[in-house]
Amino acid sequence: MTQISERAAAPVEAPVQPADPSAAESSAAAQSAATAVTFAKALNTALADAMAADSSVLMFGEDVGPLGGVFRITDGLTARFGPGRCFDTPLAEAGIMGMAVGMAMNGMRPVVEMQFDAFAYPAFEQVVSHVAKLPNRTKGRVLLPMVIRIPYAGGIGGVEHHCDSSESYYAHTPGLTVLAPATVRDAYLMLREAIASPDPVVFLEPKKLYWSKEVVDLGELRRTFEDGSAPRTIGSAVVARSGTDATLIAYGPSVPTAMAAAAAAAEEGRSLEVIDVRSLVPFDDETVCASVRRTGRAVVIAETPGFASVAAEIVARVQERCFHSLAAPVRRVTGFDIPYPAPKLEHHFLPSVDRILDTVDELQWEDGQ
């Protein structure tokens, strides 16, 4: 579903050292051709490839060892790399995060899993006070090349505390890179890039997309990532669907909804462009604004409650930069400003195709045309 926009590939930030070439080769041989791959499998393969390529990459958290994580994203990693490389910790998120900081200070590249969005909150102090600040406090002498993986957001019929859109807390915290992939291809490439990044990355995995499939060649993705030819994703948005009348700006779980809205609008004769932001921080003003200047109208779509959110930030940035190209105010379709509702009620909360199209309809078409 993605259509990667043409962008200059940034230099690879950290060279990857093959530590276990045999393992890398055997997994490369196993996946040499394009097949239907789930988002979850792409993440799992990215972790395995990163661990095979660099022995300093570690994976730890709650139930990520023998169980393979409650979403099976770490499936098989303990068996393949041993319990020294992928392991369960005592049940304490602040402990996981704080220990990761220390490991990153001492030569490791920890990847930690927070079991669910809302269960990352006990680690919040470590994230905000140390993960985000330590490199700055030490004039860049202490770098924290760590990745905080968070299965996040809703749409899976989860009960309370299992569906939070927590991106705004992290995006609001200077020092954190915040990523939210929406495609299988990006799941692989962005996780590899996050692990290679010298800066700490909050990696938000939309739960409802774990089982979505795309035909990709994981072996090819591995090669293009490792030889540096894959386009960089951190700081780069993509045009997921081209259109001319208005721009839908979405990320993570809202991208498929925006794509569905664009498809429905096309049937009604309206051409909507969809931008997949994917890198919330750093934010790609250039790609987003280029699209809005072309179309003259924009709607930002996100599951998060809208007040003081990433969606609010995007609206503000677009308004500031594209004011003279706009035919209508930039609008938002977000979750309501309420706690995430129960399974049977979540459809009222989540941005829907109808709600998006209603909002698009309100973009002052008569005045503007």
Ligand X SMILES: Cc1ncc(C[n+]2csc(CCOP(=O)(O)OP(=O)(O)O)c2C)c(N)n1
Task: Point out the residues that are catalytic.
Answer: 162
Nearer Cβ to other proteins, position 13 or 358? 358
What minimum distance in Å lies between the beta carbon of 116 and ligand X? 6
Q: Which does 98 bind (CB under 5 to 8 A by kind): ligand X, other proteins, none?
A: none
Contact residues: other proteins, CB under 8 A? 62-63, 65-68, 70, 88, 90-95, 118-119, 121-122, 157-161, 307, 336-339, 341-345, 348-349, 354-355, 358
Nearer Cβ to ligand X, position 120 or 238? 120
Q: Which does 339 bind (CB under 5 to 8 A by kind): other proteins, ligand X, none?
A: other proteins
- Whether the Cβ atoms of residue 13 and residue 197 lie closer than 8 Å to each other: yes
Q: Which does 348 bind (CB under 5 to 8 A by kind): ligand X, other proteins, none?
A: other proteins
Q: Which does 358 bind (CB under 5 to 8 A by kind): ligand X, other proteins, none?
A: other proteins
What minimum distance in Å lies between the beta carbon of 339 and other proteins? 7
What minimum distance in Å lies between the beta carbon of 160 and ligand X? 10
Q: Write b or e for each residue in 247-268: b if 16 or more Cβ atoms lie within 10 A of its Cβ, otherwise e.
A: bbbbbbbbbbbbbebbebbeee
Place of tokens 């991208």: 255
Nearer Cβ to other proteins, position 231 or 341? 341
**Cβ neighbours for 23, distance < 8 A, ≥ 6 positions apart:** 52, 80
Nearer Cβ to other proteins, position 117 or 276? 117
Restricting to residues 75-114, which ones interact with ligand X according to CB under 6 A?
91, 93
Count other Cβ atoms within 10 Å, centred on residue 272.
26
Place of tokens 């809302």: 118
Q: Is residue 115 at the binding interface for ligand X, with CB under 6 A as the rule?
A: yes
Q: Is residue 164 at the binding interface for ligand X, with CB under 6 A as the rule?
A: no
- What's the CA gap between 291 and 280, in Å, rounded? 17
Candidate residues 18, 95, 98, 122; the one interacting with ligand X per rule CB under 6 A: 122
Which of 13, 57, 52 has the alpha carbon at shortest distance from 234?
13
Q: Is 322 exposed, middle or buried (0-12, 13-18, 19+ CB in 10 A)?
A: buried
Q: Is residue 119 at the binding interface for ligand X, with CB under 6 A as the rule?
A: yes
The contact mask relative to ligand X for 43-82 (x = CB under 6 A, - = no) is: -------------------x--------------------
- What's the CA gap between 102 and 104, in Å, rounded? 5
What minimum distance in Å lies between the beta carbon of 122 and ligand X? 5
Nearer Cβ to other proteins, position 101 or 289? 101
Q: How far is CA 74 from CA 66, 68, 134, 200, 246, in A?
A: 9, 5, 28, 20, 40
Q: Is residue 124 at the binding interface for ligand X, with CB under 6 A as the rule?
A: no
- What's the CA gap between 187 and 2, in Å, rounded? 12
Nearer Cβ to ligand X, position 91 or 142? 91
Nearer Cβ to other proteins, position 92 or 263? 92
Q: Is residue 214 at the binding interface for ligand X, with CB under 6 A as the rule?
A: no
Residue nearest ligand X (C-beta atom): 119
Q: Which does 157 bind (CB under 5 to 8 A by kind): ligand X, other proteins, none?
A: other proteins
Phi first, then psi: give them for residue 321, nearest 5 degrees.
Answer: -90, -25
What minimum distance in Å lies between the beta carbon of 337 and ligand X? 24
What minimum distance in Å lies between the beta carbon of 231 and ligand X? 36
Point out which residues bind ligand X (CB under 6 A): 62, 91, 93, 115, 119, 122
